[in-house]
């Protein structure tokens, strides 16, 4: 199996990300309803559908398609999630600019840049019960897997496992950021919607890359 993945059309990968969010719209809103406004899935699906209309039928690099996704979320989602996810996807986009082939090192750099862009606008830390609890472990675990000499596929699977564990960890956390933080101890016992949507996206990214391995 090749350690280089060819991305013939970046729209196809971003379409996969769009589809996983849109198909989980109700699930994400249901989770959010336990300690939030109950609109996370609705808002995310709205922003991702805006991107769908923008990129449908186009031939774009992965960087260009991710940039369209970032812009769509920045413009189409109210509250904090648009800017947060927008920054992540901007980081991913900038890192793979001009690339039509991805190595595991490219994906490592892409993930790290997304995390860095997020940190530029958000003080959130692991343990705050938010998307960071998924994104940071996923990013760090992939980097460690590459450092340990794991294959591309192995590193992707390690990242997926870390993302799922990060998502699940939020169930026992007390929210320290966002609207849910007002609930204090009452925020414990349910998954965080942002961590859950982030897990869906990271997992789908890994699956989309793996599907294009020869």
Number of domains in the chain: 1
- According to DSSP, residue 175 is labeled P
Per-residue pLDDT of the chain (214 residues; tens, 9 = 90+): 569 999 999 999 999 999 999 999 999 999 988 878 889 999 999 999 999 999 999 999 999 999 999 999 999 887 789 999 999 999 999 999 999 999 999 999 999 999 999 999 999 899 889 999 999 999 999 999 999 999 999 999 999 999 999 999 999 887 776 666 666 676 688 899 999 999 999 999 999 999 999 7
SS3 79: coil
Q: Within the chain, where are the H helices?
A: 10-23, 25-35, 40-55, 62-76, 81-95, 104-121, 132-147, 152-169, 193-211
Output the pLDDT for position 61: 98
pLDDT at 180: 63
In the block, residue with structure tokens 């020869």: 214
Q: Could you list the residue range(s) of the whole structural domain that residue 101 is in?
A: 4-211
CATH number at residue 188: 1.25.40.340
pTM over 0.75: yes
Please give the pLDDT value at position 2: 63
């Amino acid at each position: 199996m090749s350690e280089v993945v060819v991305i013939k059309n970046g729209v196809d990968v971003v379409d996969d990300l769009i589809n996983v969010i849109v198909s989980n719209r109700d699930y994400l809103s249901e989770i959010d309803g336990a300690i939030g406004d109950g609109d996370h899935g609705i808002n995310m699906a709205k922003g991702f559908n805006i991107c769908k209309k923008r990129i449908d039928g186009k031939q774009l690099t992965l960087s260009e398609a991710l940039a369209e996704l970032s812009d769509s979320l920045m413009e189409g989602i109210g509250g904090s999630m648009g800017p947060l996810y927008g920054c992540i996807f901007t980081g991913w986009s900038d890192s793979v600019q001009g690339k039509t082939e991805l190595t595991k090192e490219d994906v490592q750099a892409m993930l790290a840049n997304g995390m860095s862009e997020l940190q530029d606008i958000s003080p959130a830390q692991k343990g705050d019960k938010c998307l960071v609890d998924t994104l940071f472990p996923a990013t760090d675990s992939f980097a460690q897997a590459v450092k340990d000499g794991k294959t591309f596929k192995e590193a992707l699977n390690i990242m997926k496992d870390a993302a799922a564990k990060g998502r699940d960890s939020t169930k026992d956390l007390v929210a320290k950021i966002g609207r849910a933080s007002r609930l204090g101890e009452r925020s414990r016992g349910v998954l965080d919607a942002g961590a859950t949507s982030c897990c869906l996206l990271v997992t789908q990214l890994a699956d989309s890359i793996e599907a294009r391995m020869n």
